């Protein structure tokens, strides 16, 4: 079964399932395309789908290691018996750094104080910590700014010489979201300058990495020694206009709880913004914006009932939404409904993202605690 950050529930109004086979196939495809080792990123509980389950699928597909945001996420994977190389890159106040280092989790540092914090934690844990140093190459988010590089590298060198740490790599995040490969040239050049400076300060990093899914696909130069992939492993194409052959891996389903007739002119939902144009019928679905159906998708979104599309109508409520079924025959309470599918003709994750005005990753991480996380999707 997939893990979830939500409390355990006995029943659920909807279920999201992850195709392990599709994730493994997508990983294999990206490994082949990249031509360098792949880190499977399973942060945020595997994008809300279960970190351990996603991790096992990406490892089966050929990923050589895993990445997460926090030490707690890393330790949760270790508790699930996942013992491959693992890196966490978001240090925060109170993070269990010593416990993570003792569990053979590599951590990332972006400041000299963080290096000293991790060195102290390594001494507490009685081990030599593995660290990677993140530098900012133009995104202006996480990572050491260029003016801070010398201090960061000297602090790491001192900790390494003292036997507390070993510096495994220097890395960065790339901020560009355009498929133009030229947008990655400058940050990669900056990363190379950072690596050269680190070597000049006495460090011997074994690897450099920068690319996530988009850069890994469109900018071969950005692949370096490793690529960090997450969304593409779930079948989210890095460039929708130029797909690389990834398989949809996420399926979200529910069942109708009520149907009733509606007369022309009658209104649906809070605010009554939707008015029926003719006599017909509607179906009630037991999912709403608390479950991950954004208010912004109605009107516009459709679901599949009995193999046919049916539109959402009226305002999405916290716990439920309404579908127009006037054009369908024989629809009844209990019938299955596909909100996000993996098969031809079903609403795709990309479609939901477009209608929500966001990206597919956010759609997944919005899924609420009432959405049960299922196991392997059936063929």
DSSP 260-297: EEE-TT-EESGGG-EE-SSSEEEEEES--TTTT--GGG
Dist. CA 49–CA 291, nearest whole Å: 14
CA dihedral over 99, 6, 254, 375, signed as positive or negative: positive
Overall residue count recorded for the chain in this entry:
379
- Tokens 């919005």 label which residue? 366
Q: Residue 69 gets which letter from DSSP? A: S
Closest among 273, 309, 211, 230 to 23, alpha carbons compared: 230
Dist. CA 202–CA 205, nearest whole Å: 10
Q: Is 1 exposed, middle or buried (0-12, 13-18, 19+ CB in 10 A)?
A: exposed
**H or E segment at 233?**
none
CB 114 within 8 A of CB 129: no
Dist. CA 121–CA 160, nearest whole Å: 14
Between the two ends of the chain, the Cα-to-Cα distance in Å is 17
Paired residues of 284 in beta bridges: 258, 322
Catalytic residue flag (residue 274): no
- Which one of the listed residues 270, 300, 306, 336 is annotated catalytic? 270
Token pair, residue 12, equals 């659920």
Catalytic residue flag (residue 43): yes
CB 108 within 8 A of CB 134: yes
- Which one of the listed residues 2, 4, 20, 43 is annotated catalytic? 43
- Catalytic site residues? 43, 270
């Amino acid at each position: 079964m997939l893990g979830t950050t939500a409390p355990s529930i006995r029943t659920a109004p909807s279920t999201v399932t992850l195709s392990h086979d599709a994730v493994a196939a997508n990983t294999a495809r990206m490994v082949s395309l990249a031509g360098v080792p792949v880190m499977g990123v399973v942060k945020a509980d595997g994008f809300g789908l279960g970190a351990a389950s996603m991790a096992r699928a990406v490892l089966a597909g050929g990923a050589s290691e895993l990445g997460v945001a926090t030490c707690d996420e890393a330790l949760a994977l270790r508790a699930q018996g996942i013992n491959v190389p693992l890196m966490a890159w978001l240090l925060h106040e109170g993070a269990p750094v010593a416990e993570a280092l003792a569990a053979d989790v590599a951590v990332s540092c972006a400041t000299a104080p963080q290096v000293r914090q991790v060195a102290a934690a390594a001494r507490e844990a009685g081990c030599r910590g593995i660290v990677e140093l993140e530098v900012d190459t133009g995104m202006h988010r996480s990572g050491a700014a260029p003016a801070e590089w010398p201090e960061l590298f000297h602090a790491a060198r001192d900790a390494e010489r003292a036997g507390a740490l070993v510096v495994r790599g220097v890395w960065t995040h790339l901020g560009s979201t355009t498929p133009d490969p030229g947008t990655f040239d400058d940050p990669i050049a900056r990363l190379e300058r950072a690596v050269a400076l680190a070597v000049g300060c006495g460090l011997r990093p074994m690897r450099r990495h920068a690319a996530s899914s988009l850069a890994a696909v469109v900018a071969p130069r950005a692949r370096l020694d490793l690529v960090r992939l997450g969304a593409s492993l779930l079948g989210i194409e890095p460039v929708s206009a130029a797909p690389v052959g990834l398989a949809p891996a996420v399926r979200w389903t529910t069942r109708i709880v009520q149907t009733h007739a509606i007369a022309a002119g009658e209104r649906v939902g809070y605010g009554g913004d939707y008015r029926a144009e003719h006599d017909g019928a509607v179906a009630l679905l037991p999912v709403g914006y608390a479950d991950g159906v954004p208010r912004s998708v109605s009107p516009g979104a459709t679901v599949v009932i009995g193999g046919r599309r049916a539109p959402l109508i009226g305002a999405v409520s916290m716990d439920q939404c309404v579908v127009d079924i006037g054009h369908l025959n024989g629809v009844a309470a209990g019938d299955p409904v596909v909100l996000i599918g993996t098969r031809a003709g079903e609403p795709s994750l990309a479609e939901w993202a477009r209608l929500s005005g966001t990206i597919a990753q956010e759609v997944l991480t919005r899924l609420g605690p009432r959405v049960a996380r299922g196991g392997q999707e059936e063929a």
